[in-house]
């Protein structure tokens, strides 16, 4: 990503505001973006003001970048101004006479993005500045300390901006900043799944959605392997199942969305998942993005929402075709003879496809139209096409959380029994320890192995690669391995532990500057959180949409920190910072099934030990899902429980059991949450004038 226009301070003084505005307009047209006369006038005003600042501050040697592209949700920074040693991030509100908290969050978020994803920004102080040119009373400026990281937002109007920049020039001294080198440095954002889907829906490819670290090149390698397998099958008029495996948060869903929203869109494609909240949240996010509704502020808060309502209805129809419920897709097509409209389907969490017993079972809500397992129906339905047809099966290893899930073994059995189908997968599908998760025994002739189809590096955890490995070691009870992983994390393990719900809420709010989002998650089986004062959980599909997309002060939003998402509501989705409320359904015990952990279910008035190994594994995987939802930090709240010497002792939430969980997590390397309120990680302290 590059700025639409960049120059030195002296070069800016040699140009007219009209010339710079016209250059920006040309860049806008080259990107096929519509322009308006008001935007041209705003650019002219910005350039005039910047020229005044350069003269006032002797900033001829500064570097100035206008309209710096940020890939996450296609945002752009109005101006990045590089002094000798500091990065100033300016957001202009030309003519504005007031400043809102949303405006402050916007410019702070820009600076946070640069800090995390721009390679040239990590060693220097970064000052976000909100410039409302007509604002009469901007806040008193501060003299910040020259510490690398994002400083508190400064405010200015047209009259005070030159003086503010002069103050910052003198105060923010540090390592030498080379403007040309900064412009050439990589900006490689890791978008959230919602942001990535919106970007892909705008007809970009996954190749444009880069990763924060060089080792995540396997995302583009895996995408290329999927495309190669599909192209080969299409050229031969063949039928293929492409299995994509990987650790939680490694980008499987992103690869699947790329198939649906990339070049394959022309062949007819759909993303199918049994995760109803994921479908609902992504559909609404894509529709809002396509309609031009501001997701960053929360869809309901956009003042243009009413005017854009007709466009939103059309966009919802488009997103519904691309994102479908897999159970509904299979049921609707099972009774037909014609092939479906799609030649390529992406089957999300394919290891969770229903076996024959679950698929054919009638319930109070539906009468089943299926007569085979879901993998069998998927091959039969797609096999009605003459010639090319494909299924891209995304496999979330270690995330099975329901009974009736067929596993990879069912897929292998069906492919072997269905003439004309072949498969491509990484070696992992044959080496799983659990027989139900092995595609086949040995190496069948219908399977071709491609190691590029296995994603092994987590994209979700932005600042630490250690997160996924640490979670796996903790859930296996491997204390020494978890501790070593924690101690080897260069930027510190992103898991913090507290026994106080109030402290957890306070930390979550402090750790989410700008437009970043926090929220609580919990196990659906953590029934005794009710007694700790935290029982509310998301239900249905409407509540998760508001929880993931709306913003505080909307009390339905995740960052209200009132309602928790269970494993069913948050699987496949993510937040920037997560609070995990640990329940009594997964405790430490000498007779634990594996690694000292015991899975329990609550029945009647007490806990019952889960003795079925498969069911116990579902509980373990529930906590794997919950522990891997955060892009940054996870704050683990282990409730204090009920002391045994309390005359009203509650054995269903025994304090000793909760203490044992907290002690184990600490032994594994979870960091204690500081008692005093610390500053956000990326924010340097500031001194008032």
CA 386 to chain centre: 38
pLDDT value of residue 279: 85
Q: How far is 664 from 653, CA to CA, in rounded Å? A: 17
680 found inside a domain:
no
User: Which conformational region is residue 533 in: left (phi greater than 0), alpha (psi within -120 to 50 degrees), or beta?
Assistant: left
243: left (phi > 0), else alpha (psi -120 to 50), else beta? beta
Instruction: Report pLDDT for 274.
Output: 83
Could you read off the pLDDT of 159-182 as tens digits, one per residue? 999 999 999 999 998 789 999 999
**C-alpha distances out from residue 556 to 512, 543, 553, Å:** 17, 7, 9
Pairing of strands 606-609, 564-565: unpaired
Q: Which parts of the chain sit beneath pLDDT 50?
A: 1, 204-216, 401, 676-689
Residue 304 domain flag: no
Mean pLDDT over each residue of the chain, to the nearest integer: 87
- Do 563 and 443 have their domain in common? no
| CA atoms of 429 and 450, how far apart (whole Å) | 11
Q: Structure pTM? A: 0.78
Distance from C-alpha of 200 to C-alpha of 71, rounded to nearest angstrom = 11
Q: Are 89 and 121 in contact (CB under 8 A)?
A: no
| One domain, residues 338 and 437 | yes
Among the listed residues 400, 316, 327, the one whose alpha carbon sits nearest the alpha carbon of residue 571:
400
State the total domains in the chain.
3
Pair 158, 218 in one domain: no
- Cβ–Cβ < 8 Å for 479, 664: yes
Q: What is the DSSP string of 10-66?
A: HHHHTS-HHHHHHHHHHHHHHTT----HHHHHHHHHHHHHHHHHHHHHT-TT-EEEE
CATH code at position 590: 3.40.50
Per-residue confidence (pLDDT) for residue 187, from 0 to 100: 77
Q: What is the pLDDT of residues 75-132, one digit of tens each?
A: 789 999 999 999 999 999 998 888 888 889 889 989 988 988 888 998 899 999 999 9
**Do 532 and 592 belong to one domain?**
yes
pLDDT of residue 409: 92
Task: Spell out the alpha helix ranges (H) of 58-134.
Answer: 101-117
Residue 149 CB partners (closer than 8 Å, separation 6+): 115, 125, 126, 681, 682, 683, 684
In whole angstroms, what is the distance from residue 347 CA to residue 253 CA?
10
pLDDT of residue 633: 93
Q: Which domain, by its residues, includes 443?
A: 214-275+324-455
Asked if the structure places residue 422 within a domain, the reply is yes
Pairwise CA distance, residues 561 & 556, whole Å: 9
Q: Residue 282 domain-assigned?
A: no
- CA atoms of 364 and 503, how far apart (whole Å): 43
- Which residue, 188, 222, 256, sits at the end of a domain? 188
Helix (H, G, I), strand (E, B) or coil at 216: helix
């Amino acid at each position: 990503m590059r700025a639409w226009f960049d120059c030195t301070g002296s070069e800016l003084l040699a140009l007219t505001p009209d010339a710079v505005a016209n250059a920006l307009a040309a860049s806008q047209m080259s990107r096929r973006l519509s322009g308006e006369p008001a935007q041209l006038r705003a650019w002219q005003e910005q350039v005039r003001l910047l020229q005044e600042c350069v003269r006032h501050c002797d900033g001829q040697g500064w570097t100035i970048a206008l309209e710096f592209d940020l890939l996450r949700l296609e945002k752009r920074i109005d101006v990045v101004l590089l002094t000798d040693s500091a990065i100033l991030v300016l957001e202009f509100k030309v003519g504005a006479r007031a400043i809102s908290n949303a405006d402050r969050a916007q410019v702070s978020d820009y600076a946070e993005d640069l800090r995390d994803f721009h390679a040239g920004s990590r060693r220097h102080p970064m000052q976000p500045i909100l410039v409302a040119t007509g604002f009469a009373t901007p806040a008193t400026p501060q003299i910040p300390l020259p510490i690398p990281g994002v400083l508190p937002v400064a405010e200015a109007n047209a009259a005070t901006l030159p003086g503010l920049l002069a103050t910052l020039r003198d105060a923010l001294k540090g390592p030498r900043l080379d403007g040309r080198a900064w412009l050439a440095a990589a900006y490689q954002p890791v978008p959230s799944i919602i942001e990535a889907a919106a970007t892909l829906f705008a007809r970009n490819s996954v190749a444009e959605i880069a990763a924060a670290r060089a080792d995540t090149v396997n995302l583009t390698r895996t995408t290329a392997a999927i495309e190669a397998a599909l192209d080969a099958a299409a050229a031969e008029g063949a039928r293929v199942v492409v299995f994509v495996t990987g650790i939680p948060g490694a980008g499987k869903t992103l690869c699947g969305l790329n198939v649906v929203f990339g070049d394959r869109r022309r062949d007819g494609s759909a993303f199918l998942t049994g995760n109803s909240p994921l479908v609902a949240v992504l559909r609404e996010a894509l529709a809002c993005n396509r309609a031009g509704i501001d997701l960053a502020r929360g869809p309901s808060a956009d003042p243009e929402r009413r005017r854009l309502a007709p466009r939103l209805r059309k966009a919802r129809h488009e997103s519904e075709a691309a994102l479908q419920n897999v159970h509904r897709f299979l049921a609707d097509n099972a009774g037909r003879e014609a092939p479906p409209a799609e030649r390529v389907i992406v089957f999300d969490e394919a290891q969770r496809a229903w076996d024959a017993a679950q698929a054919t079972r009638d319930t109070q809500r539906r009468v089943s139209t299926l007569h085979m397992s879901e993998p069998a129906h998927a091959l039969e339905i797609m096999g009605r096409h003459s010639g090319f047809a494909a299924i891209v099966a995304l496999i979330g290893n270690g995330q099975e959380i329901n009974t009736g899930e067929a596993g990879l073994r069912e897929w292998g059995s069906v492919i072997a029994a269905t003439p004309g189908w072949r498969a491509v997968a990484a070696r992992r599908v044959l080496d799983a320890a659990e027989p139900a998760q092995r595609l086949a025994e040995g190496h069948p002739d219908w399977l071709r192995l491609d190691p590029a189809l296995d994603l092994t590096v987590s994209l979700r955890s932005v600042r630490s690669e250690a997160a996924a490995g640490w979670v796996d070691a903790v859930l296996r009870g491997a204390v020494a391995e978890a501790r070593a992983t924690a101690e080897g994390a260069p930027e510190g393990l992103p898991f913090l532990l507290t026994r106080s719900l109030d402290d957890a809420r306070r930390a979550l709010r402090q750790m989410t500057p700008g437009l970043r989002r926090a929220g609580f998650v919990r196990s659906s089986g953590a029934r005794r959180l009710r007694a700790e004062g935290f029982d509310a959980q998301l239900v249905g599909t409407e509540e998760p949409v508001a929880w993931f997309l709306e913003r505080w002060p909307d009390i339905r939003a995740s960052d209200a920190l009132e309602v928790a998402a269970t494993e069913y509501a948050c699987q496949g989705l993510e937040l920037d910072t997560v609070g995990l409320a640990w329940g009594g359904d997964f405790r430490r015990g000498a007779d634990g099934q594996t690694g000292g952990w015991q899975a329990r279910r609550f029945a009647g008035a007490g806990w019952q030990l889960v003795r079925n190994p498969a069911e116990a594994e579902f509980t373990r995987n529930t906590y794997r899902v919950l522990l891997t939802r955060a892009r940054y930090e996870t704050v683990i709240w282990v409730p204090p429980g009920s002391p045994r010497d309390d005359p009203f002792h509650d054995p269903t939430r025994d304090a000793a059991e909760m203490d044992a969980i907290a002690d184990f997590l600490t032994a594994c390397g979870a960091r204690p949450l500081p008692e005093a309120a610390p500053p956000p990680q990326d924010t340097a302290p500031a001194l008032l004038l």
